[in-house]
Structure 1
Amino acid sequence: MKFAVIGGTGLIGSRVVRILNAAGHEAVPHAPSTGVDVLSGKGLEEAAAGADVLVNLTNSPTFDEAATAFFQTSMDNLLAAAQKGGVRHFVILSIVGVDHVPELVYFRAKVLQEHILATGPIPYSIVRATQFMEFIDAILSWTADGESVRLPATPIQPIAAEDVAAAVADVAQGPPLRGIRDVAGPEVFPLDELGRITLSHKGDNRTVVTDPTAGMFGAVKGDVITDTGADLAPTRYADWLS
């Protein structure tokens, strides 16, 4: 099969392209660096032409109100190009529990993205993943200073990017789900404890202070961990750190 992977040079996209090509498919990465712009529509028709499956792994560059406009415009452009190009399966990556946290603007924008896809003209699949292990350092940096890191005790179920990519590639190779598949890491941690584990591994002596209001995850009350219906990925956080 031929796959057009939009955002195919990024953290997840580059891995999806590698996995699909290793499986004997033709997976082509598309990104601004290859002349494709999801907001202006530049290069989208050419990218989608002849593809059996379109995998959209692009993301808003911000987490504020601008994210809503990004997902509205990008999805409208991608769906139009995919329909014209004869795409038979459209896949996106979203967030576990995204519809349970309306307090976060970015999560509301991702819900909009899912809705646009689900009500669109092309058979679809949505893969929802928990927080990437690769982003834990960034989460710590949001509320850090020279001596401490403030974090809420929000439950987090981190998953490795490689496992996310494997799940996306698996769904993309199958028939459209016309629904959602959840994938998550195998362990649940309070975010403040995950911060302590991460800093200790790095030899960082800063103190983690439990603050229920700190950072973006201060608005999350535990709904972004999975229930028993999720696929659990194999990579444990300690192994990933190592």
Structure 2
Amino acid sequence: MKIAVIGTGLIGSQVVRELAAARHDAAGHSRSTGVDLLTGEGLDEALRGAQAVVDVSNSPTFDEASLDFFRTSVGNLLAAAAKAGVGHVVTLSIVGVDQVPELAYYRAKTLQENLVKAGSVPYSIVRATQFMEFIPAVLDATTDGDVVRLPSTPIQPISSAEVAAAVAEVATGAPLRGTRNIAGPEVFPLDELGRITLEATGDGRRVVTDDTAGLFAAAKGDVLTAPEGAHLATTRYRDWLRSR
């Protein structure tokens, strides 16, 4: 099966490896390979002969500009996919993304989902919880000196490897014409997750609970954790930290 993967970063590179290991004809595409979602350049060639396309691209910013990014990129991708006769578009999104309208980036990802659903190409949306690999960056974003301020927002981290495996599995199947939610096996308050991370890595910073701090302060309740019926991965966060 020929599958085009748009985006060659953390997830895209692993999706290509997963598909290749299963003996599919998979190739990753990005601006570095001559494919530009915002102009459409290179898309026709990238999708020629593909039965499915996986979109794991991302906006370069997380502000209001991300809305324009997804509006343009999804339009160009769907037009190219329809032209090439692609039968399945797979889009990676975020669990609970439509329940945090205070965040511009989450509104942009919701727009992305809605555009895909309204398009003419059969689709699947894979929503994942927060990647384990991103937790250190979350801590750095609210660090002031030796203090990390974090809200107690419930988080259910999943490894990027398991996200990539789930996306690859969906890409090789029939279009869901719906959404599959995937999540890690454990839920932590984000401030507790920060303390676990700092202790495990020997980091001397300390966590102060602040329910107004950082991006995830806007998420209310447990909207970022797995909804009923979600597929749960098996890698536990402390085991993942030890493996690093």
Post-superposition CA distance 1:132-190 (Å, at most 9, x none): 00000110011102210000000000000000000000100110000000000000000
Runs of 4 or more above 6 Å deviation: none
Q: CA RMSD in A?
A: 0.6
User: Aligned pair 1:233/2:233, yes or no?
Assistant: yes
1:227 CA drift (Å): 2.2
Per-residue deviation, 1:204: 1.1
Aligned length: 241
Contact 1:48 1:85 in 2 (8 A): yes
Structure 2 equivalent of residue 183 of structure 1: 182
Which string of whole-angstrom CA distances, capped at 9 and with x for unpartnered residues, describes residues 52-84 of structure 1? 000011000111000000000000000011011
TM-score, normalised via structure 1 length: 0.98
1:225 aligned partner, one-letter code: T
Q: Distance in 1 between matches of 2:201 and 2:4?
A: 38
**Partner residue, 2:35:** 36
Residue aligned with 1:182, SS:
strand
Equivalent residue runs for 1:160-179 within 5 Å: 160-179=159-178
Greater Cα shift, 152-161 or 215-224: 215-224
Q: Secondary structure at the match of 2:37?
A: coil
Distance in 1 of aligned mates of 2:9 and 2:84: 23
Preserved CA contact (<8 Å) 1:49 1:84? no
* CA distance in structure 1 between the partners assigned to 2:168 and 2:183 by the alignment: 15
Please name the residue that 1:88 is paired with.
87
CA contact (8 A) 1:143 1:215 kept: yes
- Superposed CA deviations along residues 9-31 of structure 1, whole A, max 9, x for unmatched, are 21000000000011011001101
Match of 1:112 in 2: 111
Could you tell me how far apart the structure 2 residues matched to 1:106 and 1:33 are?
Answer: 24
User: Following the alignment from structure 2 to structure 1, what is the Cα–Cα distance between the partners of residues 60 and 219?
Assistant: 21
8 Å CA contact 1:124, 1:178 repeated in 2 = yes
* Structure 1 range deviating more: 197-206 or 157-166: 197-206
2:64 equivalent in structure 1:
65
**Alignment partners' CA distance in 2, 1:18 and 1:227:** 29
Structure 2: how far apart are the matches of 1:143 and 1:238? 22
Distance 2:19 2:12 in 1: 11
Superposed, 1:116-195 pairs within 5 Å as 116-195=115-194
* Identity across matched positions, percent: 66
Aligned residues of 2:47 and 2:84 also touching (Cα < 8 A): yes
CA distance in 2 between counterparts of 1:174 and 1:147 reads 48
What are the ranges of 5 or more consecutive residues in structure 1 without an aligned counterpart? none
8 Å CA contact 2:181, 2:227 repeated in 1 = no
Q: CA deviation at 1:228?
A: 2.7
Aligned partner of 1:3 in structure 2 is 3
Matched AA of 1:90: V
Find the aligned partners of 1:166 and 1:150 in 2 and give their Cα distance: 33
Please give the per-residue CA displacement for 1:186-222, whole angstroms capped at 9, x wherever unaligned: 0000000000000001111211000000000010112
SS at match of 2:62: coil
Q: Which moved more, 1:215-224 or 1:124-133?
A: 215-224
Q: Structure 1 counterpart of 2:9, which letter?
A: G
CA distance in 2: counterparts of 1:77 and 1:228, whole angstroms: 33
Cα distance in 2 for residues equivalent to 1:150 and 1:216: 11
Q: TM-score, normalised by structure 2?
A: 0.98
